[in-house]
Every structure is written in C-alpha cells, then in structure tokens.
Amino acid sequence: MDVSRRSWVEEANNPACEFPIQNLPYGVFRTDGGKHIGVAIGARILDLHACACQGLLNGLLAEVVGACKAEVLNPLMALGPAAWSALRARITELLDADEAHESTRRRVEPLLTPMREAAMELPAQIGDYTDFYASIHHATRVGRLFRPENPLLPNYKHVPIGYHGRASSIVVSGQEICRPWGQTKSAEASAPVFGPTRAMDYELEIGALIGPGNALGMPIAIEEAERHVFGLCLVNDWSARDMQAWEYQPLGPFLAKNFATTISPWVVPVAALEEYRVRGPERAPDDPAPLEYLQSPSAERDGFDVTLQVLLESSKMREAGMDPLVVSVGNLRTLYWSLAQMVTHHASNGCNLRPGDLLATGTISGERNGSEGCLLEITRTQGPLALPSGEQRYFLEDGDRVTFRAQAQRDGLPRIGFGACAGTVVERDQPG
C-alpha cells in the first residue's frame, strides 16, 4: 500500500473518509441502464461498466474488461488474484492525483455517481452461504448460559464449526427485516405455539466472498486459501433466539436463522487490508495445536486488525432526533479461527466453493464487556440494555434499526472503511 497516494477526487483525501484511494471496494449499483459494477472513491462511485465501454480499461485482458460489464461481481471473482491486481492498478491510475493526466480526469469525471443518488444492490449472486462459529469468546459466553460447567463443546478447539445458511434470503443493507413467525416453547408450557418471535437478535459478523473456488473433490491447501477470497463485507445474521432454542436439537440452526441475513453493499479487497494484518488466532498454552491441514505457514499475518461497531436506534429515538447508541465495539483479530482456516476446512472434504459464495465468521465478540456481538450475550449476563430514550431492550422491538460499521485504521495509515450494514425490524402480518 502506498500511503502517500492522493486522489484528484478531493473528498477521498479527507482522513475521516472511509473510501480513500487505498481502499477501492467493489459494489453494484442501479443506474438508468440497469445494474453496473462500481468502485467507491470518496463519496462517489466510479462506474466500471462505463469505463469499460469508453476504453478506459484498454490494455487489460479481454475477460477482465468483459467482467466489468457484468451486472454482478461473480465473473470478476472467478478470474483470480492476478486479474484483480491488474484491474485495481488500472483503477488507481485513473483516480490518482499524480498519475491521471488532465485529459483522463475529464473522461473519468462524468462516470462518477454521487453515493447519495445511487441505489445499491447485492454485490454478487450468492449461490451458497456458510456461517461459522469462529469467535471463542462468543462461543464461551453463550455456552456458559446453557452449560455453566462446560461452556465449550469438546470439538471447538479442534475444528472450525459451521452450518449451511440460506442464500435466497440474503439482502443488501437498508432493506427492512420482517419479524419472523415460528414455533416457540417456553419452559413452563406443555406444548409449542406458533407466532412472531419475541427474541429477535442481531449477530455482528464479517463475510468473505469467494473468488475462483475449487473443483468438486479437490481440497484447498491452507497456503492457497486466501487466493480464493475476493474480499470482505459486513454481515448481520439476524436470529430469532426463542425459535432457535426450540428447534436447535438435533440438527442445529434452521428457521430461526434463515429468514434474513443482511450484508453491506461494498466488498473490501484483501489487498486494501495488507497493512492491517496481524498475527492469526492466539491459542492458550494448553490448547491443542490445529491439525496439520489447518496449520498456516503465514500464521504471523493471518489476522486482520479491523474494528467493528454495533449501533442501535429505536423509532422513538429517531423521532426525537437522538443519535444511535453505540452498543459495542469489537475487533476481527479476536477470532479463534482465521479466514484461511475456514476456507481450507470448508473445502477439506472436497466440497466445491464457487465464485460469489459467502463464508461468514459467526458472531464476533471480544473477551471484555462492551465487545459482545449480539444482544443475547449482553442482556443475559448484564441485564437489559438501556437506551438514551429511557427505553430498555432485552431483544429487538419493531422499529429498531441496527447498523454495523467497520474500519481498519492506524497512525500514519489511511482509514479503510466497509460502509454500513443496516436493517430495521418491522412487523409482519400473520401468514395465511
């Protein structure tokens, strides 16, 4: 990363900007001509479809130029790191204050759309979605609620636990989330009832969108795993805790999880986070070492120092003009299993990952209070959450809006932001 680079798009040079020239995340936005791939720079979006059509990407391989004309990122994801690097270098040239000639700027300027005027879409066609359980602090805190003497199950420190989610209900940030209906059963009841969940929760996660992937039957070696990660986004895996408690045994999450998952519209390339790499997951001295296929040769750099933030606002707070409440602040570096280990384990049995597949980390929580990634952890151990409006929350109420934000930032380095991952809970009419 060249930290000295500046863009001729002036707002991108503001230290508080989430999308400097060192970031350049990809997304898909709707225009009069349909859905176009774009790159965020400052408060604007560079239209890559238009760049390709106007010859600004000439010199790149034809398949790269063709991928920029697609309506989703999947064709670009399939091309792999060499193609991604070449395209990133060209986009940087077009936006760089020193490298872009005045004639280039005049050609590029009309292809920039203000973000406030853009409608964002899902960045990829997500064929499959897998959710992991990679935060040991989350697993321990939740496990302690149900198994105080033995919060972690015996396999946790040996295998990256995950489950297959539902890709069809993944939505982009900003879409309303209908409160789901399902079966619940209280401890006192003799039989279950069907109705709206009364324990709606959020889960703060990071998602990895897969690039080339692997052929069926062919595993991905740990040293090759990150070559299959196109980029990262924010994920909110909405959960109905009361439905989950009733249906969880014996096969795990089902209707309590698959009604909606929100992702942020911007996909941050791994290349934008190189300067924010940190040592991979730390293990206690008496923890078992990972099995050989999960032992990374680059463990010193397998983690990412990305700060994660959860904000909550009720409808009453919005009506009063109150700022959202910062509920918690965590960090991606606290995971027990790395992204590379998750990719490798997922494909270790020969399962084929495909371009656009989403692998989420599971709820990311830190060890200390104030770093929890869901309400279940907060309210079951510390009591109800107090809102500045005088309201209290054990779980989400209708009208509550949850927003996730993430950024990588260090002294002397640009801020790499992820944008917002937001959703508002709304009431749904009774089915039938």
Q: Which residues are catalytic?
A: 138
Structure tokens at 184: 């619940």
Question: In this structure, what token pair is assigned to residue 12?
Answer: 């991108």
Ramachandran angles phi, psi of 273, nearest 5°:
-110, 10
Query: Which residues are bridge partners to 310 per DSSP?
Result: 328, 404
The two structure tokens encoding residue 21: 């020239």
| Contact yes or no for 174/422 (Cβ under 8 A) | yes
209 is written with which tokens?
């969108």
What is the distance between the alpha carbons of residues 388 and 299, in angstroms, rounded to a whole number?
42
* Alpha-carbon distance values, 204 to 369, 407, 418 (Å): 15, 14, 13
CB 33 within 8 A of CB 52: no
Quickly tell me which residue has 């853009």 as its tokens: 118
3-class SS of residue 354:
coil
Name every residue whose Cβ is closer than 8 Å to that of residue 187 and which is 6 or more positions away in sequence: none
CB 50 within 8 A of CB 44: no
Question: Tokens standing for 73?
Answer: 């990122």
Q: Quick check: 402 and 311 in contact, CB under 8 A?
A: yes
Fill in the amino acid letter for 215.
Answer: A
* 271-297: burial string, b at 16+ Cβ within 10 Å, e else: bbbeebbeebbeeeeeeeebeeebebe
Residues 6+ apart with CB under 8 A from 2: 22
